[in-house]
Structure 1
Amino acid sequence: MPEEPPPEIAELLGCGGKIEVADIGAAAIAETPPYKKLIDLGLARLNAFDADVRQHDELRRIYGGDLALFTQILGDGSEQMLHLASPASGMTSLLQPSSPGLAFFNGFTAFGEIHGSERVTTTRLDAVEHLPNLDYLKMDIQGAELQVLQHGVERLRDCCMIQLEVSFVPLYENQPSFGEVDVWMRDQGYIPHCFTDVKRWSISPVRRRNSDRAPFNQLLEADIVYMKDFARVESWDDEILRRTALIAHYCYDSFDLVGHLIAKLQDRGSLPPGSLHRYLELLNKSRQPQAQ
């Protein structure tokens, strides 16, 4: 049976092969992840990391054949302690919860209560067998994100976009702050593209509307998307431009970024004249907003 033709945007960009996506902490999905549309359209394959094999059947149900499952706990390759919190809290981590950090926010002392710890051997991202080099990474692992990034430089060498959870007020001991993560990402040639979510929380003991979850102004954490630094775009090969554009279009509705990259590909002669005009026509056809 012949394969379905690629969607029009993918056909216009002419990417070779499927986008390799990794989700580290894949079972901790409270909502539809941004990459799912790429997978549903047959444009990407998911490499999902979750050490809890009880989550794997549900991941298989959602993603079918475009899925590779990994059970490694990622880190720096050393033995570490995994601190187990209530599954409902989502605060199980390689890092020990910080009592002052938790106490600063309403409700977090209970969220961060540790029910037990176990010694685990972590694996460097660069050392994971059968994992391809990645085009797109999403990671939410409760404060250990920078440790994984630092030991995955080769796997991420050509990674187009990286979505991370970052903290403004650390909830764990020795947790890197947003500033530390940002400096490291910039040193690797990335810049912030957008926040997909910014979470605020009320400061103890004052509560709003008698709820822990109704915030005032204090920042807690955010999901931030990094892209390769456009100032270095002349050094990107064509495939990185194409894949960045594909991810930006389907995962983040970043149509202005896509148009910029298509224009670059046009200027290089890697896309035919009129490709940008065709892209804008396709946006109008699908009734998506078009930047002026």
Structure 2
Amino acid sequence: MSEAARARRIETLRGLLAPARLTEIVDVGANPTELPLYMPLIDAKAARVTGFEPQPAAFEALGPRQTTHERYLPYAVGDGQPGTLHICRKDGFTSLLEPEPLTQTYLWRPRWSRMTTVMDTIPVETRRMDDMDEIDALDLLKIDIQGGELAVFQNGREKLGGALAVVTEVAFMPLYKDQPLLDQQMGELLAQGFLLHSFRTVVDAALYDAQGLHVPRGAHKHGQLIDGDAIFLRDPRRMEAFSDEQLKHYALLADGALDLQDLAARCLTELVRREAIPAAALDAYRQMLRESEGQPA
């Protein structure tokens, strides 16, 4: 489906749902290295993002994107304590944590060591998400700050109390010293009412000692797991726990950011059951999905 066609579908879905406000997204680590997963919602003018990016060059690159639907602030989000930003050769690896040399020597690809080489350090004052007046509402938290995610969750429990989904980078292998791994993130988010739904991406690598080895195709299907992007959802089994307004934003996020049309349909079904939207709205959404897949009406 083209970006324009998806934006039209989201515009139509938002019209069917008629939420009272824009869907609110917080992006911690908004470095524009790739197009964010929530951009279809922004393109459809159905959401607003408040992004945080402390790396000077990355924040400057976000400047042209500042609009009524996108605002960016040069804050380092964390535990509220002073920290040091380690600027790595590849800016996507810049972190408040120091790279872990043991992992660099363990992995096969020399580029891991090159990419995580620290080129500069910048002292920063971190800010707790719960202390930020800039965040009025939070429906989706997207976060990728190279090992600092757990500190944000622990110091953002109040803001996250109303959130519907978290998309976070999780680590299986520590690229940084004392980096919290998947189990710690998962434990904290589970305690806050989020369930792990799926992995959007998973990165793996072969070991350093595999250099020069001839490994027959198919004999080595998977390498050492490194990290990936995980989707955590506010418990979707408990639809009765959500207000009508929350379900409307949940449906918009499910389709427009998470690409989970089954979850969007579940939200619409619950809204129809409550008579918060007409049954025709669910029928119209199903028809849009059929048309997007090229199926006959």
Pairwise TM-score range, normalised by the shorter structure: 0.7 to 0.9
Partner of 2:181: 177
Separation of aligned partners in 1, 2:44 and 2:121: 41
Change (3 A) 1:237 1:165: same
The yes-or-no answer on 1:194 pairing with 2:198 is yes
SS in 1 for 2:133: coil
Partner of 2:257: 251
Which residue number in structure 2 is paired with residue 100 of structure 1?
102
| AA of the residue aligned to 2:55 | D
Match of 2:93 in 1: 91
How far apart are 1:171 and its partner, in Å?
1.0
Contact conserved, 1:166 with 1:178, CA < 8 A, in 2? yes
How large is the RMSD of aligned CA atoms in angstroms? 2.5
Q: Letter of the aligned partner of 2:98 in structure 1?
A: Q
Alignment of 1:67 onto 2:39: no
Q: 2:135 aligns with which of 127, 131, 137?
A: 131
Alpha-carbon distance between aligned partners in 2 of 1:140 and 1:124, rounded to the nearest angstrom: 16
- Spell out, residue by residue over 1:214-260, the C-alpha distance to the aligned partner (whole angstroms, 9 max, x if none): 98422111101111012332111111111111011112321111111
Q: Which residue of 1 aligns with 2:281?
A: 275
SS, match of residue 190 in structure 2: helix
Q: CA deviation at 1:32?
A: 1.5
The answer to whether residue 228 in structure 2 is matched with residue 222 in structure 1 is: yes
User: Which amino acid counterpart does residue 102 of structure 1 have in structure 2?
Assistant: Q
2:270 to 258, 264, 267: 264
Aligned equivalents of 2:54, 2:123: Cα separation in 1: 14
Please point out which of 51, 65, 72 is paired with 2:54.
Answer: 51
Superposition TM-score, scaled by structure 2 size: 0.86
- Aligned equivalents of 2:58, 2:126: Cα separation in 1: 19
CA distance in 1, matches of 2:212, 2:196: 32
Contiguous gaps of at least 5 residues in structure 2: 1-7, 215-219
Amino acid at match of 1:105: L
Deviations along 1:58-108, one digit per CA (max 9) or x if unpaired, are: 42434533122211111111112222322x252221112212122221222
Quote the Cα distance in structure 1 between the aligned partners of 2:198 and 2:62.
Answer: 27
CA deviation profile, 1:85-138 (whole Å, cap 9, x unmatched) = 22x252221112212122221222332222343332211011123222211111
| Equivalent residue pairs, number | 282
Structure 1 residues 288 and 99, CA, compared in 2 at 3 Å: closer, same or farther?
A: farther
8 Å contact 2:142–2:166 — kept in the other structure? Answer: yes
> How far is 1:209 from its partner?
9.1
1:189 and 1:175 map into 2 onto residues whose CA distance is 23
For the structure 1 residues 103 and 288, does the alpha-carbon distance in structure 2 shift closer, same or farther, using more than 3 Å as the test?
A: farther
Offset at 1:289? Answer: 7.8
TM-score (norm 1): 0.88
Amino acid at match of 2:244: D
Work out the CA distance in 2 between the residues paired with 1:121 and 1:244: 33
Relative to 1, partners in 2 of residues 1:52 and 1:98: Cα closer, same or farther, differing over 3 Å? closer
Q: Which structure's residues are more often helix, by fraction?
A: 2
Residues 98 and 176 in structure 2, CA contact (< 8 A), matched pair in contact too: yes
Partner amino acid, structure 2, of 1:232: R
Are 2:119 and 1:120 aligned? no
Deviations 1:27-64 (A, max 9, x none): 2x332211111011110111111123444454243453
Whether the aligned pair in 1 keeps the contact of 2:66 and 2:72 (CA below 8 Å) is: no
Any idea what the Cα deviations from partners look like across 1:129-165, whole Å, max 9, x if unmatched?
3222211111110000010111111122111111100
AA matched with 2:99: P
Label 1:50 to 1:122 Cα distance change in 2 as closer, same or farther (>3 A). Answer: same
C-alpha distance in 1 between matches for 2:26 and 2:211: 38
2:279 is paired with a residue of what secondary structure?
A: coil
| C-alpha distance in 2 between matches for 1:22 and 1:153 | 14
Give the distance between the partners of 1:53 and 1:83, measured in 2 at CA.
12
